[in-house]
Amino acid sequence: MRKDRGSGWFGPFGGRFVPETLIEPLNELEAAYASARRDPKFKAALRSELDTFVGRPTPLTFAGRLSAALGLRVWLKREDLTHTGAHKINNTVGQILLARRMKKKRVIAETGAGQHGVATAAAAARAGLPCVVYMGTDDMARQAPNVARMKMLGATVVPVESGSKTLKDATSEALRAWSSDSRNTFYVLGSALGPHPYPSMVRDFQSVIGVEARAQILKAEGRLPKEVVACVGGGSNSIGIFSAFIKDRGVRLTGVEAGGTGSAPGRHAARFSGGSPGTLHGTYTYLLQDARGQVLPTHSISAGLDYPAVGPEHAELRRIGRAKYANASDKDALKAAHELCRLEGILPALESSHALAYLHKARLKKGELILVNLSGRGDKDLGTLCA
């Protein structure tokens, strides 16, 4: 284990807590990313992929009937309309361009809901790189359509049977696979998590959401929103939209975690209400753990929020009071999904539905502007939604 006090810290959070075998690959990645982000050719290639493959910019949709029901003015940032149906693709196209620049021969990824796996498989196929995705067997069962999509896109899906058989175990497996062949392999990490430089790099790739949304709402309304809301699994769609508004002191930033079926350990994934600082998957952050530091099991109706740690930048935004974090129960998220379907003709992902559920609790004056990041579409969740 090594604590790198150089970059990669968000206040006391973040860092790089990894076995010695990963230090070199992380240094190599950090250097390659630092050079790529300054290179106009890389920036142009990324812009072109976002415009012509991902489908950016995504629209900002005024939710008129939902607004009337809530007494607010609700705008939705439509990441559900991106290619493959969630914000994950913004990050995977960026990382896969970097993998090609680094001349890596194959990519690997972990996945929970399967959206990151599908997005990685799609971007890898387009780049002609073989792709292996690690996925917990519980997640494979509840997100079967995404397993089929990954296979169609040419990826190999490796079932992970260990531990809770969800995202945590898939991530451990992917890190292990990377350390055993880092010379040829690029690890496409799916959220603003993990050892430095991943949390910063993933935030940068997702910041396109916030940059677009800020300009779009200014154009549409002539003012900034009072509050920006996003669901928080690892924290990438939320940090992606928050990042553009951090300097706008008058804009409240609210992240919504999975409240599951109750506040007892094992029944939720609300790291900020039930967790404490600790280290998981290479980063120091808020974590659901017991008194002895054993990682606790988590539960959420949405596979994408079902993870015991949160991105370190969120831990810092909360510590300094710049963002606050709420949670929504399984039941309220389900209700919010049905509500958006009926009122707006949009089928949201169960993850995004946690952000929508929060709208009923937002303490805003009548008619105030609220911007919600609709991180993905709900087709993958039809099995759960219709049950």
Query: Please, which of residues 82-111 interact with ligand PLP by CB under 6 A?
Result: 86, 88
Q: Which is nearer to ligand PLP, 171 or 237 (CB)?
A: 237
Helices and strands, number each (H, E), in the chain: 15, 14
Q: Is residue 333 at the binding interface for ligand PLP, with CB under 6 A as the rule?
A: no
Min dist CB 258 to ligand PLP, Å, is 10
When the beta carbons of 2 and 338 are compared against ligand PLP, the nearer one is 338
**Smallest distance from ligand PLP to CB 116, Å:** 6
- Stretch in the footprint of ligand PLP (CB under 6 A) among 112-120, 140-148, 289-297, 361-369: 112-120
Cβ 380 to ligand PLP shortest distance, Å: 8
Q: Which residue has the tokens 């993905």?
A: 376
Angle made by CA atoms 277, 282, 286, in degrees to the nearest 5:
20
Looking at residues 132 to 171 of the shown chain, list those that interact with ligand PLP (rule: CB under 6 A).
none
Q: Report strand pairing: 131-136 vs 156-160.
A: parallel
The answer to the question of residue 283 lying near ligand PLP (CB under 6 A) is no
Considering the rule CB under 6 A, would residue 304 count as an interface residue with ligand PLP? yes
Which residue is at the shortest CB distance from ligand PLP? Answer: 376
Query: What is the closest distance, in whole angstroms, from the C-beta atom of residue 227 to ligand PLP in the complex?
Result: 18
The whole-angstrom separation of Cα 76 and Cα 67 is 11
Instruction: Please state the closest distance from residue 114 (CB atom) to ligand PLP, in A.
Output: 8
Residues in Cβ contact with 386 at an 8 Å cutoff, skipping those fewer than 6 apart: none
- Secondary structure (DSSP) of 331-361: HHHHHHHHHHHHHHS--B-HHHHHHHHHTTT
Residues labelled as active-site residues: 88, 110, 375
Q: Is 349 in the site for ligand PLP (CB under 6 A)?
A: yes
Tell me how far, at minimum, the Cβ of 340 lies from ligand PLP, in Å: 13
Q: Which two tokens stand for residue 134?
A: 């690690």
Give the CA-trace dihedral at 173, 377, 301, 209, to 10 degrees.
Answer: 70
User: In the stretch 27-56, what mask flags binding to ligand PLP with x, by CB under 6 A?
Assistant: ------------------------------
- The phi, psi pair for 171, rounded to 5°, reads -65, -45
| Separation CA 318–CA 269 (nearest Å) | 17
**Residue 115 binds ligand PLP, judged by CB under 6 A:** yes
User: Does residue 81 interact with ligand PLP by CB under 6 A?
Assistant: no
Interface of this chain with ligand PLP, residues 219 to 278, rule: CB under 6 A? 231-238
Going through the chain in order, the beta strands assigned E by DSSP cover: 9-10, 13-14, 60-62, 73-78, 106-111, 131-136, 156-160, 185-188, 227-231, 252-260, 276-280, 283-287, 323-329, 369-374
Site of interaction with ligand PLP (CB under 6 A): 86, 88, 113, 115-116, 191, 231-238, 304-305, 349, 351-352, 375-376
